C-alpha cells in the first residue's frame, strides 16, 4: 500500500509537479483511502520527502551513478548515459524531464528540508562522476582534468539539455550536448583518436524515467 502510494506519487510529481498533484488525485489513482494515506504519510510534505529520498535518489542511482561506475571510463560513462536517455526519449516520443531537476526547481526554495534532500542527490551524482575521473587519472586514462569541474559540467549539461528537451518535447538537445561534450572530450583526453569514428553505439535501455 505504501509502495503503491509512492509509485503513484512519484509518477504524479514528475508529470504534473508537487503543487499541481492533489492528495485526492493520488488517492484515486492509487486506490487508497484518505485514512490509509494519512497513516503512512502524515502530511503531503512527508510524502514528497519520501518520494525524493526513496525514489528520485534511486532513479539517479540507476540512471547515472551505476552506469558511470561500471563504464570503461568517466567520459565513456557519461557518453553512454546521454546516448541511452536520448534513445529512450526518442523511442517513447515524450519527454517528461529529469525527476531530480523537476522537483528541484519546484521545491528547493519552498522548504529547507526539500532543498537539503535534493542537494544531497545532486552531490552524490556529481561525486560518482568525479570519483570515476579520479580513478581514470590514477590508471592513466585521463589527463589533469579537475574531477569536480568535470562532474559539475557533465551534470549541468545533462540537466540543462533535459530542461530544453522537456520544453521543446524533443530529444535533440541531448544529442547536441552529447556531440559538443565529445568534441571537448576528444581534445582533453589522449590525442590519438579521431572523433568521427564511434557513433551511435547501442546501449541497453535499462533506464526508466516513466
Partner DNA sequence: TGTCAAACAGGACGATCACCCTGTTTTGGA
Partner DNA sequence: TCCAAAACAGGGTGATCGTCCTGTTTGACA
Q: Closest separation between CB of residue 147 and its own copies, Å?
A: 11
Residues of span 44-103 touching its own copies by CB under 8 A: 96-97, 101-102
Q: Determine, following the binding rule CB under 7 A, whether residue 2 of this chain makes contact with DNA.
A: yes
Q: How many CB atoms lie within 10 A of CB 199?
A: 9
Grid coordinates of 143: 589527463
> Stretches 24-32, 42-50, 74-82, 149-157: which one binds its own copies (CB under 8 A)?
149-157
Q: Determine, following the binding rule CB under 7 A, whether residue 16 of this chain makes contact with DNA.
A: no
Q: Which of 7, 17, 29, 38 binds DNA (CB under 7 A)?
A: 38
Q: Which of 15, 22, 123, 205 binds DNA (CB under 7 A)?
A: 22
Q: Determine, following the binding rule CB under 8 A, whether residue 36 of this chain makes contact with its own copies.
A: no
CA dihedral of 11, 67, 198, 142, whole degrees rounded to 10 = 130
> Stretches 4-12, 28-36, 64-72, 117-125: which one binds its own copies (CB under 8 A)?
117-125
Q: Determine, following the binding rule CB under 7 A, whether residue 54 of this chain makes contact with DNA.
A: no
- Contact set with its own copies (CB under 8 A): 15-17, 19-20, 96-97, 101-102, 104-106, 108-110, 115, 118-119, 122-123, 145-146, 148-150, 152-153, 155-161, 163-164, 166-170, 172-173, 175-177, 179-181, 183-184, 187-188, 194-197, 199, 202, 204-205
- State the residues that interact with DNA by CB under 7 A: 1-2, 21-25, 32-40, 42-45
Amino acid at each position: 500500500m505504501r509502495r503503491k502510494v509512492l509509485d503513484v506519487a512519484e509518477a504524479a510529481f514528475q508529470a504534473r509537479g508537487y503543487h499541481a498533484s492533489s492528495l485526492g488525485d493520488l488517492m484515486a489513482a492509487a486506490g487508497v483511502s484518505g485514512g490509509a494515506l494519512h497513516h503512512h504519510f502524515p502530511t503531503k510534505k512527508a510524502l514528497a520527502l519520501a518520494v525524493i529520498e526513496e525514489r528520485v535518489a534511486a532513479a539517479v542511482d540507476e540512471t547515472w551513478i551505476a552506469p558511470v561506475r561500471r563504464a570503461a571510463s568517466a567520459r565513456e560513462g557519461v557518453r553512454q548515459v546521454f546516448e541511452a536517455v536520448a534513445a529512450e526519449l526518442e523511442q517513447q516520443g515524450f519527454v517528461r524531464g529529469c525527476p531530480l531537476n523537476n522537483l528541484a526547481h519546484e521545491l528547493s526554495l519552498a522548504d529547507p528540508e526539500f532543498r537539503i534532500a535534493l542537494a544531497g542527490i545532486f552531490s552524490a551524482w556529481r561525486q560518482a562522476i568525479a570519483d570515476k575521473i579520479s580513478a581514470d587519472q590514477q590508471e592513466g586514462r585521463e589527463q589533469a582534468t579537475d574531477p569536480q569541474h568535470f562532474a559539475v559540467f557533465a551534470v549541468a549539461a545533462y540537466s540543462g539539455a533535459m530542461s530544453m528537451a522537456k520544453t521543446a518535447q524533443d530529444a535533440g538537445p541531448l544529442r547536441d550536448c552529447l556531440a559538443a561534450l565529445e568534441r571537448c572530450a576528444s581534445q582533453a583526453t589522449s590525442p590519438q583518436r579521431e572523433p568521427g569514428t564511434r557513433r551511435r553505439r547501442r546501449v541497453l535501455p535499462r533506464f526508466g524515467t516513466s
